[in-house]
Copies of this chain bind each other. A is one copy, B any other.
Amino acid sequence: MRFFARGTGRVELDVVKVGDCVKLMNDLPEGSVDMIFADPPYNLQLAGDLVRPDHSKVDAVDDDWDKFDSFKIYDRFTREWLRAARRILKDNGTLWVIGSYHNIFRVGTSLQDLDYWILNDVIWRKSNPMPNFRGRRFTNAHETMIWAVKDKDARYTFNYEAMKALNDDLQMRSDWLIPICTGHERLRDDEGEKAHPTQKPEALLHRIILSSTKPGEVVLDPFFGSGTTGAVARRLGRHFIGLEREDTYARLARKRVSKVKPVDDVNLVDTPSKREQPRIPFGWLVERGLLEPGTMLYGPGRRFNAKVRADGTLITRDFKGSIHQVGAHVQGAPACNGWQFWNINVEGKLMPIDVLRQKLRSEMN
């Protein structure tokens, strides 16, 4: 099923289009998307092979799409797609760009020169980065994202309460600790090799989309790649438009996105309330994919149940709040430790959600 955005002519939604992203953006009506997430080529300029101490070869990015002859050419490319993005972005929409020190300074400068107004730079701290094999530099353990609006006075969306709930009731900071994409989440080709060299983790897009869009809004990704943006947008009840140069990746992404089940209830992904959270915020279980939004939780003996929302709160028929508050409410008790009260259904058996917390804790040390 295809959707068309209202009030902007006919803009096909939830599709992956193949072609040059600047041309494809120029075909869209002015002010037709609410948010843009862009993961442009990083222009790595690598020389020669890198070998690990055990003599295995590092499978680095050496694709043609990452090759530029000079900074001048990279700058021209950057300004072109940023200008096209600016036109199709609504006046109160926001733009996210991710990059590394190879390209992010060019991107930031271009943004400012094109009169975008930077709201934050946000650091993705990788919990499991590739080490520096030669011992000649600091381990490159982060990437930088820039969050910007079209104009200094734009009235953009920032779901402050959702971000606070996701961070143990503390303001969300500009440094985010999130693992790189590995394991089941990493898409593989028929030979079992990584299908895309730079697939981003869903947890990263979860936080980005939840922070700066509302349900039903349109997220565009001009460098769609493996389609992480589309998969997360769909799961969170947002629409997406994916633009991708290579047909192989576009097909891969379409297949991936089609498997994602959107949350059926908009309340699960809408503006959350300000609530108390445990020390490991419950929302992190959702963000990190240990729990899907919409998962049913059960009280002891299945006498009670509640549904998980994307921001880490629960909802029942007549009440919503933290795992503790909802647990207390359904029992009519003054207080409740939600971590011990709530369970998930695993092959017919109940398992306390605290097990998931412990799992996450051990993963994060």
Q: Which residues does A use to contact B, with CB under 8 Å?
A: 51, 55, 71, 100-102, 104-109, 111-113, 118-123, 125, 129, 131-132, 135-142, 144, 146-147, 158, 160, 163, 171-175, 211, 333-336
**Residue in B closest to A177 when the chains form the complex, CB atoms:** B175
A175 contacts B123, CB within 8 Å?
yes
Residue of B nearest to A332 (CB): B55
For A57, give the chain B residue with the smallest CB separation. Answer: B334
- For the complex, would chain A's binding face be called helix, strand, loop or mixed by DSSP majority? mixed
B71 touches A141 (CB 8 A): no
26 contacts between A and B (CB under 8 A): A55-B333, A55-B336, A100-B121, A101-B108, A101-B121, A102-B118, A104-B105, A104-B108, A104-B121, A105-B107, A105-B109, A105-B112, A106-B112, A108-B108, A109-B109, A120-B138, A122-B138, A125-B175, A131-B171, A135-B171, A138-B171, A138-B173, A138-B174, A138-B211, A139-B171, A141-B174
Q: In the complex the two chains form, is A173's CB within 8 Å of B141's CB?
A: yes
- Besides the known contacts A105-B112, A123-B125, 15 further A-B residue pairs in the complex with CB atoms under 8 A apart: A51-B334, A55-B334, A55-B336, A101-B108, A101-B146, A102-B118, A104-B105, A108-B108, A119-B137, A120-B140, A122-B138, A136-B158, A138-B173, A141-B175, A144-B144
Cβ of A175 and Cβ of B175 under 8 Å apart? yes
**Chain B proximity of A74: nearest CB distance (Å):** 10
B71 close to A112 (CB less than 8 A): yes
Across-interface contacts of A125 in B (CB, < 8 A): 123, 125, 175
Residues in B neighbouring A140, C-beta threshold 8 A: 120, 174
Which of B112, B136, B174 sits near A160, CB closer than 8 Å? B136
Residues of B within 8 A of A55 (CB): 333-336
Which residues of the other chain, B, contact A142 by a CB distance below 8 angstroms?
123, 173-175
Would you call B139 and A172 a contact (CB within 8 A)? Answer: yes
Tell me which of B121, B122, B139 contacts A174 (CB under 8 A).
B139
| Most B C-beta atoms less than 10 A away, residue of A100, A118, A120, A334 | A120
Complexed CA–CA distance, A309 and B261 (Å): 58
Whole-angstrom distance between the alpha carbons of A125 and B141 in the complex?
13
Q: Tell me, rounded to whole Å, the shortest Cβ–Cβ distance linking A291 to chain B.
A: 24
A130 to B218, CA, bound (A): 33
Q: Give Cα A21 to B69, complex, Å.
A: 35
**A106 / chain B contacts, CB cutoff of 8 Å:** 108-109, 112
Contacts of A139 in B (CB 8 A): 171-174
Bound-state CA distance A121–B129 (Å) is 15
A144–B142 Cα gap in the complex (Å)? 11
Cα distance A245–B190 in the bound complex, in angstroms: 64
Complex-state Cα separation, A108 to B137, whole angstroms: 18
- Which residue of chain B has the shortest Cβ distance to A111 in the bound complex? B105
Quick check: B144 and A121 within 8 Å, CB to CB?
A: yes
A141 to B175, CA, bound (A): 7
The answer to whether A138 touches B172 (Cβ under 8 A) is yes
